[in-house]
Amino acid sequence: MTNEQQFAASFAEIHPPLGRREALVEANRCVYCFDAPCANACPTHIDVPGFIKKISSGNLGGSAMTILHANILGLSCARVCPVEVLCEGACVMHRYNQQPIEIGRLQRHAMDHFYATGRRLPAAAAAKPGRVACIGAGPASLACAATLRQLGFAVTIFDSRPLAGGLNTYGVAEYKLRPSDSLQEVELVRALGVEFRLSVEIAGEWRIKELEEEFDIVFLAVGLGRTQPLEIPGERLPGVVDALRFIAEYKTYRGARVGRRVVVVGGGNTAIDAATAALRLGAEEVHVLYRRSETEMPAFQFEYDLAKQEGVRFHWLTQPVAIHGAARDHAAVESVECVRMELGPPDRRGRRQPQPIPGSNFRLSCDMVIPSIGQSRLLDFLAQFRDIRLAGGCVVVDPATGQTSNPRYFAGGDCVNGGREVVDAVAEGKRAAAGIAQRLEAMHG
Amino acid sequence: MADLTTRFAGIESPNPFWLASGPPSNCGDQVKRALDAGWGGAVWKTIGEPIVNVSSRYSSVDWNGQRMMGLNNIELITDRPIETNLREIAEVKKRYPKHAAIASLMVESRREAWHEIVRRAEGAGADGLELNFGCPHGMSERGMGSAVGQVPEYAKTITEWVKEVARTPVLVKLTPNVADIRTIARAAKAGGADGLSAINTLNSITGVDLDTFTPRPDVGGQSSHGGYCGPAVKPIALHMVQQLAGDRECGLPVSGIGGISGWRDAAEFLLLGCHSLQVCTAVMHYGYRIVEDMIDGLSNWMDEKGFHTLDDFRGLSLPRVTEWQHLDLNYKIVARIHPELCIGCGLCYIACWDGAHQCIHVEGAGSPEQLVAQSRASLAQTPAVVAVDTAHTPAARIPKVDEHECVGCNLCWLVCPVEHCITMDRVDTGLPAQSWASSGAGS
C-alpha cells in the first residue's frame, strides 16, 4: 500500500454514504412533519422534510437545491454536524420507534449527487452597487459571501492561509471531512463570482485603511487563535504539538509525525479528534487527561463513545503540571507530570471547580503531548479595528443582523460565538449577509 | 379452535380461502402445491380455446416504498389446451376430494360452445363452474369476458345456456366496470345462476414511463388498458360485495374477491356477507404460504370474538350499511389529542388547517404560515451543553383541538402516525337521533 492508500484506509469515513436503496428506505420513513422540529433545530433552518421528500420522489437535484438554498455548505454540514444534538436529536421518530431519521446521511446523499453530477447554482441576480470584504475564508465568510453574491453584490474573501475553507479544510477530523470536499464547496462559492485573495494577511493601520477604502462593508469571520498554552514547564519541547496544528499538519501533508505514546490534554471535541487521529496515524497508546470528571466533559457523548471504542484511555480529574524531557536528549518528551484533582463547590455558573490534591503528583510516560484546552481569542488582531466592541475576547454583534458596534463592520462565526459548530458559523454568515444587504441598499438607495 | 368449513352455493371446502382464477391456478402442479399449503380450493385459470399472450403482461403501482399496492395485467385466459387443463383438474380432484376445484370458463358466445365446455369440465370432476364475464381486456375485444358482463341480456342468455346442461353449481363472475353491478347480478340470477363471484379487475392504466413515455406495461413501445387488482381495489370490492349481498332482489351468495391479502381483509368480506373468499394478487406477490396466517389469524380472531363457525358472523355488518339519508345528524364526535402519546409531528394540525376545518391550534400561532415564519425567525444554535430530551414532546408542539369548532371528520386521526394518540370521542348533544330523511327534508 502506498502512503496515500494507507492514510485513506486509516481515515476511512466514519459515516459511509447511503446507497440509493438505503436512502430511499430511510427517506420513506420520514413522516414529513409540519413546522418540523428537525428544521427548527438546524441553525440554518434547512427544510429537512422538504429535501427528504424530494429524495423519496426521485428528485435528487431538487433535494440538493433545497439544502443549498438554506445552507451553502450543505455537504460539509452533512458530514460534520453533531446531528445527534441538532436535527436528529429533534426528530419525532425518537418517540415513535426510537429510531430518528438519518438526516445527516440523507443530506449527504443529496449533496453527493449534486457534486457528482457537476450541477451549479443559479447565476447571481443583476449586479448591485456595494462591495463587501469578508475577512477569513471559513464557513461564516463562505456563507455570507455566497448569500450576498446571489443577491447581486460584489464580494471578496481574504485569508492568510493558502487554501480557503478555514477549519473545514484544516481542522476537521479526516474521517469526517476531507480537504478535497471542503474545497469543492469553496469552488461552488467561487463559481458564483466571489473573489478570493488568499495568503493575504490583513494587519496594520495602513492595510485596514486600504481595506476600508476599497470596500463599503467588512465582514469579520476570522475565527479564533492558536490553541491556548498549558502554561507549564516543558511546553516548548518539540514533542509538544497543539491540537489544531497537529490536525492541520496530518490533513495537509502525509509525513506528519506522531508519537508512540501520546497524551492529549483537554476534554473537548477537538481533543477527541486529535486523540483518535493519533491512533489512526499509528500511536500505540493514546491517553486523554481531563481535569474534571466524565460527567463534566464538554465533548459530545458520541465523540466520547467513538474515542472509547477506538481504545483511547481517559484519565479523569487529572491535570498536567510539567512536561519532562529525556535526560539524554532534551529535545524529546519523556513524561507528563500530573496531579490528581477533586471537584470543589460549584462556582457562580454552577460548574464545580477542580482543585489539586496536594502530594498526589505522578508521572505518565509518553513521547508526545497534544494540548487541546481551547483556542485563544484574537484580542490583538481584533483590537486593530476601530470602535468594535469586544466581550470576553469575542466580537459583540446584534444577533439578528451580525452588525458590530461599528456600523460598517459585521461579524460572525467563532470570533463572535467563541467557537461553535460549522453550521452555526453558516447561520451567522447568512444572517449577517441579510443585514449587510439591507445596509448596502440603504447606503446606495 | 374455530370451524372454518365452508359451504358456498353447494360447493364445500375445508376453509373459505380459494385461489382466484389467475396465474397461481394455471396448472395442476400449482394447484396441488397450493392445496398442500392449506388453501381450501382453487378456481382454475380460465379455460377456453387457448390464446397467445404478449410480453410484458403486468404492471403495478408502488406506494411510499412498498411494492404492488395495485397490480394490473393484460394477460388473457389460459394458453394451454383444454384437454390438458381438464385432465389436471381430474388429477387434483382425485387427490384432494374434500377441496373445491372450480372450472372457470370462457368460450365464444354460442350455445353449442358453452354446452360442450360445461359437459367437459363437469366430466373432469369440477365441483362447480365459474363463468368469466369479467375480464376487461383482450377477451372483451373478441366479444367475451366483460363484453358479456356489461350487458344484462347477454349475461342472462349465456347463464341460461350453461344451466341447460350444468349439473354442478354455476357461479357468475362479475365485472366492476359497470354503472351498477346489481343489474348484471340480477340478470345472472334470472338466467339461473347459483352464486356470484365479485369483483373481477378494474379497467386501468397504471402509469407512464417518464423516460420512454410509454404507459405500462410496455409491449414494444405500446400499451393497452389492463385489469387492476390487489390491495388498492379492496375498498371498491367491499362496496360492490355489500351491494350484492344486501340486494334482496338478487339474493345469491357471493364469493368475495378484490385485494384480499390477509385475515383481516377476509374477516371484512365475510362480515359484509361473503360465503367464500378468492385471492390472487397476494399469492402472486408472496406465494401460497400466505394462507397459513390467513387461516390462523381468522381462527384466532373468531375464538377471541366467540364465533364458532363462519355463519356466526357472516353478514353481521350488512345491517350497519345504510343510505346517507338515514344517518343520525345529531350524533357528534370530536377529536381528542392525548398529549402523552403525541410525538409532535404537526400532521394533524396542517391537515386540519389545509384539508379540513381549521380547528386544531398551536399556541401562539394564528395560522400555519405564522407558525412557520416564527420558527424560521428563531435563532437556533448548537447546544453548548448536551442535554437533548428525545423522550418527551415539547408542550408547545402538542396541538390542541377546539372542540366547539371540531366537526368530527376523522381527518386528524387518520393522518396521525401514532395509534391511539388521537381518539374520536362521542359528545352527547342531548338531541334525539334525527336523519335527513326523518327530518322531512327528504320528502
| DSSP class per residue in A192-238 | TT-EEE-S----SHHHHHHHHHH-SEEEE-----SBPP--STTTTST
Q: Any idea what the CATH number is for the domain that residue B201 is in?
A: 3.20.20.70
**Domain final position from B279, B302, B320:** B320
Q: Evaluate whether residue B380 is within a structural domain.
A: no
Nearest neighbour of A92 by CB, restricted to B345, B362, B388: B345
Nearest neighbour of A34 by CB, restricted to B346, B376, B381: B346
Q: Evaluate whether residue A7 is within a structural domain.
A: no
Considering the domain architecture, whether residues B247 and B273 belong to the same structural domain is answered as yes
Considering the domain architecture, whether residues A383 and A434 belong to the same structural domain is answered as yes
Domain that residue B333 falls in:
323-369+392-443
Considering the domain architecture, whether residues B310 and B428 belong to the same structural domain is answered as no
Considering the domain architecture, whether residues B312 and B351 belong to the same structural domain is answered as no
Q: Which residues contact B274 (CB under 8 A, 6 or more apart)?
A: B16, B241, B245, B254, B255, B256, B314
Considering the domain architecture, whether residues B399 and B435 belong to the same structural domain is answered as yes
Beta carbons within 10 angstroms of residue A308's beta carbon: 13
Residue with cell 457537476: A118
Residues of B in contact with A34 (CB under 8 A): 345-347, 349-350, 368
Considering the domain architecture, whether residues A252 and A358 belong to the same structural domain is answered as yes
pLDDT on residue A43 = 97
Give tens-digit pLDDT for B178-187. 999 999 999 9
**In degrees to the nearest 10, what's the CA dihedral of A126, A131, A135, A141?**
-20
CA distances (Å), origin B59, targets B72, B213, B227: 5, 15, 10
Q: Evaluate whether residue B378 is within a structural domain.
A: no
Q: Evaluate whether residue A231 is within a structural domain.
A: no
Considering the domain architecture, whether residues B294 and B404 belong to the same structural domain is answered as no
Considering the domain architecture, whether residues A196 and A166 belong to the same structural domain is answered as yes
Distance of alpha carbon A362 from alpha carbon A351, whole angstroms = 26
Considering the domain architecture, whether residues A265 and A364 belong to the same structural domain is answered as yes
Name the residue in chain B with its Cα closest to that of A430. B379
Q: Evaluate whether residue B93 is within a structural domain.
A: yes
Residues of B in contact with A56 (CB under 8 A): 64-65
Residues of B in contact with A40 (CB under 8 A): 375, 378, 380
Considering the domain architecture, whether residues B365 and B313 belong to the same structural domain is answered as no
- Chain B closest CA to A21's CA: distance in Å? 10
Q: Evaluate whether residue A237 is within a structural domain.
A: no
Query: What is the CA A98 to chain-centroid distance, rounded?
Result: 29
Q: Evaluate whether residue A126 is within a structural domain.
A: no
DSSP of A373-398, one letter per residue? Answer: S-BPP-HHHHHTSTT--EETTEE---
Give tens-digit pLDDT for A11-37. 988 888 999 999 999 999 999 999 999
pLDDT on residue A437 = 98
**Domain final position from A371, A400, A422:** A371
Nearest neighbour of B390 by CB, restricted to A28, A39, A89: A89
Considering the domain architecture, whether residues A150 and A54 belong to the same structural domain is answered as no
**Domain final position from A88, A116, A144:** A116
CA distances (Å), origin B384, targets A418, B316, B387: 11, 61, 9
Considering the domain architecture, whether residues B194 and B310 belong to the same structural domain is answered as yes
pLDDT on residue B279 = 98
Give the number of residues written for chain B: 443
Considering the domain architecture, whether residues A31 and A141 belong to the same structural domain is answered as no
Helix H or strand E segment including B37: helix B28-37
Q: Evaluate whether residue B198 is within a structural domain.
A: yes
Helix H or strand E segment including B361: strand B360-361
Considering the domain architecture, whether residues B30 and B148 belong to the same structural domain is answered as yes
By the CB < 8 Å criterion, does A420 face chain B?
Answer: yes
By the CB < 8 Å criterion, does A28 face chain B?
Answer: yes
Cβ–Cβ pairs < 8 A, chains A and B: 91
Considering the domain architecture, whether residues A250 and A365 belong to the same structural domain is answered as yes
Do the Cβ atoms of A96 and B386 come within 8 Å? no
Considering the domain architecture, whether residues A247 and A361 belong to the same structural domain is answered as yes
Q: Evaluate whether residue A259 is within a structural domain.
A: yes
Do the Cβ atoms of A94 and B378 come within 8 Å? no
Cα-trace Rg, chain A:
23
Considering the domain architecture, whether residues A322 and A255 belong to the same structural domain is answered as yes
Do the Cβ atoms of B349 and A25 come within 8 Å? no
How far apart, in Å, do the first and last CA atoms of chain A sit? 62
By the CB < 8 Å criterion, does A125 face chain B?
Answer: no
Residues of A in contact with B391 (CB under 8 A): 94-95
- Chain B closest CA to A124's CA: distance in Å? 24
- Chain A closest CA to B352's CA: distance in Å? 12
pLDDT on residue A130 = 93
Do the Cβ atoms of A45 and B350 come within 8 Å? no
CA distances (Å), origin B344, targets B152, B387, B397: 55, 19, 5
- Which site among B348, B360, B381, B415 would you substitute to test the A interface, given the most A Cβ atoms closer than 10 Å to its Cβ? B381
User: How many helices and strands in chain A, by DSSP H and E?
Assistant: 19, 15
Q: Evaluate whether residue A393 is within a structural domain.
A: yes
What string of pLDDT tens digits covers the 445 residues of chain A?
Answer: 678 888 888 898 888 899 999 999 999 999 999 999 999 999 999 999 999 999 999 999 999 999 999 999 999 999 999 999 999 999 999 999 999 999 999 999 999 999 999 988 987 778 999 999 999 999 999 999 999 999 999 999 999 999 999 999 999 999 999 999 999 999 999 999 999 999 999 988 899 999 999 999 999 999 999 999 999 999 999 899 999 999 999 998 877 889 999 999 999 999 999 999 999 999 999 999 999 999 989 999 989 999 999 999 999 999 999 999 987 766 789 999 999 999 998 888 788 889 999 999 999 999 999 999 999 999 889 999 999 999 999 999 999 999 999 999 999 999 999 999 999 999 999 999 999 999 999 998 7
pLDDT on residue A330 = 65
pLDDT on residue A151 = 95
Considering the domain architecture, whether residues B281 and B426 belong to the same structural domain is answered as no
Nearest neighbour of B343 by CB, restricted to A92, A301, A431: A92
**CA geometry: angle at B26 spanning B25 and B27, to 5°?**
100
Considering the domain architecture, whether residues A313 and A215 belong to the same structural domain is answered as no
Q: Evaluate whether residue B273 is within a structural domain.
A: yes
Grouped pLDDT means (10 residues each) for chain B, 443 residues: 95 98 98 98 97 96 92 96 98 98 96 98 98 90 90 97 98 97 98 98 97 97 97 98 96 98 98 98 98 98 98 98 96 98 98 97 95 93 76 94 97 98 96 91 54
Residues of B in contact with A95 (CB under 8 A): 343-344, 390-393
How far apart, in Å, do the first and last CA atoms of chain B sit? 50
Considering the domain architecture, whether residues B211 and B98 belong to the same structural domain is answered as yes
- Chain A closest CA to B335's CA: distance in Å? 19
Domain that residue A217 falls in:
131-225+376-444
Do the Cβ atoms of A45 and B376 come within 8 Å? yes
Name the residue in chain B with its Cα closest to that of A297. B385
Residues of B in contact with A91 (CB under 8 A): 390
Do the Cβ atoms of B350 and A34 come within 8 Å? yes
Instruction: Write the burial class of residue B439 (CB in 10 Å: 0-12 exposed, 13-18 middle, 19+ buried).
Output: exposed
Q: Evaluate whether residue B375 is within a structural domain.
A: no
- Which site among B343, B353, B385 would you substitute to test the A interface, given the most A Cβ atoms closer than 10 Å to its Cβ? B343
Nearest neighbour of B345 by CB, restricted to A28, A33, A84: A33
- Chain A closest CA to B414's CA: distance in Å? 13
pLDDT on residue B383 = 83
Q: Evaluate whether residue B192 is within a structural domain.
A: yes
Nearest neighbour of A85 by CB, restricted to B383, B393, B417: B383
Q: Any idea what the CATH number is for the domain that residue B327 is in?
A: 3.30.70.20
Number of domains observed in the structure of chain B: 2
Q: Evaluate whether residue B55 is within a structural domain.
A: yes
Q: Evaluate whether residue A233 is within a structural domain.
A: no
pLDDT on residue A1 = 63
CA distances (Å), origin B334, targets B164, B410, B413, B426, B429: 58, 8, 10, 7, 11
Residues of B in contact with A399 (CB under 8 A): 379
Q: Which residues contact B122 (CB under 8 A, 6 or more apart)?
A: B129, B166, B167, B168
Cα-trace Rg, chain B:
26
Query: What is the CA A435 to chain-centroid distance, rounded?
Result: 23
Listing from the earlier edge strand, what are the strands of the sheet with B226-229?
B58-63, B66-73, B226-229, B202-204
Name the residue in chain B with its Cα closest to that of A85. B388
Query: What is the CA B124 to chain-centroid distance, rounded?
Result: 31
Considering the domain architecture, whether residues B416 and B339 belong to the same structural domain is answered as yes
Q: Any idea what the CATH number is for the domain that residue A348 is in?
A: 3.50.50.60
Do the Cβ atoms of B388 and A417 come within 8 Å? no
Distance of alpha carbon B255 from alpha carbon B174, whole angstroms = 11
Considering the domain architecture, whether residues A347 and A410 belong to the same structural domain is answered as no
Query: What is the CA B235 to chain-centroid distance, rounded?
Result: 6
Considering the domain architecture, whether residues B72 and B118 belong to the same structural domain is answered as yes
- Chain A closest CA to B61's CA: distance in Å? 14
Do the Cβ atoms of B382 and A82 come within 8 Å? yes
**Domain final position from A92, A116, A140:** A116
Q: Evaluate whether residue A183 is within a structural domain.
A: yes
**Domain final position from B289, B320, B351:** B320
Q: Which residues contact B267 (CB under 8 A, 6 or more apart)?
A: B298, B301, B313
Residues of B recognised as catalytic? 135
- Chain A closest CA to B346's CA: distance in Å? 5
Number of domains observed in the structure of chain A: 3
Give tens-digit pLDDT for A220-236. 999 999 999 999 999 99
Considering the domain architecture, whether residues A303 and A389 belong to the same structural domain is answered as no
